Amino acid sequence: MTALKGKHIVLGITGGIAAYKSAILARLFVKAGAEVQVVMTPAAREFITPVTMSALTDKPVITEFFTANTGEWHSHVDIGLWADAMVIAPATASTIAKMAHGVADNMLVTTYLSAKAPVFIAPAMDLDMFAHPSTTANLKTLAGYGNHIIEPAAGELASHLIGKGRMEEPEVIFSVIERFFGDTAELAGKHVLITAGPTYEKIDPVRFIGNYSTGKMGIALADAAAARGADVTVVAGPVDVKPTHPRVKVVKVESARQMLEKCEDLFDETSIAIFAAAVADYAPAEYADTKIKREHTQVPTLRLIKNPDIAKTLSSKKHPGQLTIGFALETDNEKVNAAEKLASKNLDLIVLNSLRDAGAGFGTDTNKVTILSPAGIIADTPLKSKREVAADIINAILKYDPFTH
């Protein structure tokens, strides 16, 4: 039984090369037990035929307001109300603009304007069109109306140029929707704040102190918390990984100080804060405005100052009802060190990673953790994917949080 069984999905297809991938997307929805109603723009028919789409979905495809020979009226209002979700994939720059401004000159945009269900938009266009300020502004407007934008990926485009604008793969779009319906509500209405990735501490305009953290664990935790209904903000250092859950927002920062500042702005409204970032402990005492040259200088000495401890600073301001969770990356005497960090940083729980465990730690797709509360070990996971470990950590937090009982 999948989360999509019996769900009504309106699949909107617009006129872009990526429309051929909509056939795969429709197939995935149907295979998962959903009913799919395809609505195409007139331009989409130039890229994939209605016959293909109706054969895959077992329903006539709608492209016009009327069926020409019978005069049968297609009610966009009825389709909009029937939908449990509307997915527009691919969404061209033109359709995105029309949706943002209510230009209801085709069946797809009128259906969108009548839809009461959540709407997911997967843009697909050339890199320059995607980067154009008007497209950025239109997507921002649509996101502001509560629509979920499934960001395009970077890669080779139909124009053979390489850049961002390629529609996300059907499997990814499918998993975003599946995840949305698979959500549970234990954390509904709660804000979760997560720090993730490394921090970069600038030495000069071209150099920094950093570390190998990729942010995978933090982003996996963000998706896992959102799947339990939370509104999640990730404050991330320089990372490439992206969350897939539409309820996760990422705020990018660079240094530990910037990370602390952003977290401080968000902490008051936060119910649960998880500090998964590998924050640099030290930053250069001085920043050189111009590149430090090899000639003309003696071998420079890098003087360091201590960075703020984000977990400790925020945990010391905790008010009743707020939970803070830290990570401890240890190489020896692991449990004792982790328990000490838990106490000294005033955390409620700490997730211990041992670098002695193969497959755990920076950059890997797997992890193995032990979760400690002030009373001792509350959970222990075998080596699993970071996504599964993230779900286990959120489960442990839910069990621990007295307010969700």
Catalytic residues: 211
User: Rounded to the nearest whole angstrom, what is the least distance from the CB of residue 308 to ligand CTP in the complex?
Assistant: 6
- Binder of ligand CTP out of 256, 371, 389, 396 (CB under 6 A): 256
Task: Based on the shown chain and the rule CB under 6 A, indicate whether residue 326 belongs to the binding site for ligand CTP.
Answer: yes
Choices 69-77, 176-184, 203-211, 307-315 (CB under 6 A): range interacting with ligand CTP: 307-315
**Exposed, middle or buried, 325 (CB in 10 Å: 0-12/13-18/19+)?**
buried
Task: Based on the shown chain and the rule CB under 6 A, indicate whether residue 275 belongs to the binding site for ligand CTP.
Answer: yes
- Residue 90, preceding peptide bond in cis (omega within 30° of 0): yes
CB 104 within 8 A of CB 80: no
Choices 41-49, 243-251, 322-330, 362-370 (CB under 6 A): range interacting with ligand CTP: 322-330
User: Rounded to the nearest whole angstrom, what is the least distance from the CB of residue 303 to ligand CTP in the complex?
Assistant: 18
Choices 25-33, 114-122, 226-234, 320-328 (CB under 6 A): range interacting with ligand CTP: 320-328
- Binder of ligand CTP out of 34, 127, 277, 390 (CB under 6 A): 277
Number of residues that bind ligand CTP (CB under 6 A): 15
> Which residue's CB is nearer to ligand CTP, number 256 or number 360?
256
- Binder of ligand CTP out of 47, 130, 208, 327 (CB under 6 A): 327
Site for ligand CTP in 188-247 (CB under 6 A): 195
User: Rounded to the nearest whole angstrom, what is the least distance from the CB of residue 261 to ligand CTP in the complex?
Assistant: 13
- Binder of ligand CTP out of 37, 255, 307, 324 (CB under 6 A): 307
What's the sign of the alpha-carbon dihedral 145, 135, 25, 229?
Answer: negative
Which residues are paired to 120 by β-bridges? Answer: 87, 148
- Binder of ligand CTP out of 25, 177, 311, 396 (CB under 6 A): 311
What's the sign of the alpha-carbon dihedral 343, 348, 354, 355?
Answer: negative
Q: Please report, as ranges, the residues that interact with ligand CTP according to CB under 6 A.
A: 195, 256, 275, 277, 279, 281, 307, 309-311, 326-329, 341
